[in-house]
Chains A and B, each alone.
Chain A
Amino acid sequence: MESSVSSNTRVVGADNSKEDVISLVQRAKSGDLSAFDSLMVRYRQRLYAVIYNMTMNAEDAADLTQESFVKAFRSLSKFKEKSSFYTWLYRIGVNLTLTYLKKRKIRQFFSFDQASDDGGINKDLEAISSTSSTSVKKALNNELHEKLNEALSKLSDKHRTIVVLFEIDGLGHKEIAKVMNCTEGTVRSRLFYAKQQLQSYLSEYLN
């Protein structure tokens, strides 16, 4: 199993079978497109989710995810298999996205419906509080969801990336450190600071 357990007992890594992944990577390296296809199927959703939550834009996320896989395919010969494939792939995706965000000034690019005032959000909150957890998901997909996006967009690109990798993708501190090319300590401190910021931005709507 390629998955590992971090210090906070989070199960991370998408590979249920390390042997399968290694075999697929080796076949893809030798030009087997179907093997690369299988790798794509395995990781596309997670990579897309990370990029989407970094950019807050579905089209950009689709383009960048696509670009990440194409770049990975072109660079497969450079993958030395010292790290896991998903870490390597994530690094490509995250770096591409960070470069993109830097260029496009995503924080100004991001926009949300100004009409969704506090009253609307309070309605969602009421629905959340009065019903089961399934309706929580449903309600949160609306304005509250956008409030979270807004709060995330106020974070720096690197802080947001770490929050997304940890909270949404489920990677551990160690894996995030590899992807972001920094120390575990940096990951922890950035994560702590980012969550404090989010709590502060969303204090009005959060428990």
Chain B
Amino acid sequence: MKDKPTLDDLFESKKLDLPDEEFWNGFQDRVKGRAIASLGERSKSARLRKVGLYATLPALVLTFVGLGLIESDPTRSSELSGVSPVPSVTEADTSFSQLASLLEGEGTYDRESVVQLASLNSFDSFANSSVQLAGGDSSFNHHSLSLSRNPIHSAQYTF
């Protein structure tokens, strides 16, 4: 009686069922290519995450700081309301001293003076009204100076 193979013989034959060397060369190259690509993908995604983190936080901080500054800046709020810029305290002081020096030693002011004073660009408004009492020679001049509409820096003078 002729012998038949055993199950072990069959398993032995399976061990021989392997690809040739050419297959492995291509295989090795493909795996290396994919491994390198996965490294690239990993570093790219990590870089994107970093950029996202490092860019978003400062942008948010800057946005909040900017908004805070806008709300607390009176110049900005007056600009937004359409009012002309208010002179700084130093400018107002200077303007006031110029006005004071002009007023000193002069009892009355005519329109020329008013015009002259009005040319001081740091004044917000300068009004002059002259009232003549009816039927008499008595008269008085009324000068009103307002430096600013801002309640902090405003002053009104009546002469």
Contact = CB atoms under 8 A, between A and B. Distances in A.
B9 A140 contact: yes
B111 interface: no
A62 B27 contact: yes
A70 B42 CA distance: 13
A142 B36 CA distance: 39
Given A40-B28, A125-B4, A167-B11, A137 B16 contact: yes
B4 A33 contact: no
Contacts of A136: 5, 9, 13
B119 interface: no
Given A128-B4, A140-B5, A144-B5, A66 B10 contact: no
Interface residues of B, number: 31
B30 A66 contact: yes
B137 to A, nearest CB: 105
Task: Say whether chain B's binding surface is mostly helix, strand, loop, or mixed.
Answer: helix
A36 interface: yes
Given A44-B27, A74-B38, A49 B7 contact: no
Contacts of B42: 74
Contact of B11 (A40, A44, A48, A168): A168
Interface in A23-50: 31, 33, 36-37, 40-41, 44-45, 48-49
A116 to B, nearest CB: 15
Given A45-B18, A62-B27, A206 B6 contact: yes
B15 to A, nearest CB: 6
B5 A33 contact: no
B18 A48 contact: yes
B32 to A, nearest CB: 6
B24 A44 contact: yes
**Number of contact residues on A: which range applies?**
35 or more
Nearest to B1: A129
Nearest to A142: B13
Chain A CB count within 10 A is highest, among B6, B11, B42, for B11
Contacts of B31: 40, 66, 69-70, 73
A49 B18 contact: yes
Interface in A137-165: 137, 140-141, 144-145, 148
Given A66-B27, A168-B11, A207-B4, 11 more contacts: A31-B39, A66-B31, A74-B35, A128-B9, A137-B12, A148-B14, A168-B15, A195-B7, A199-B7, A205-B5, A207-B6
Interface of A: 31, 33, 36-37, 40-41, 44-45, 48-49, 52-53, 58, 62, 65-66, 69-70, 73-74, 125-126, 128-130, 136-137, 140-141, 144-145, 148, 167-168, 195, 198-199, 202, 205-207
Interface of B: 2-19, 23-24, 27-28, 30-32, 34-36, 38-39, 42
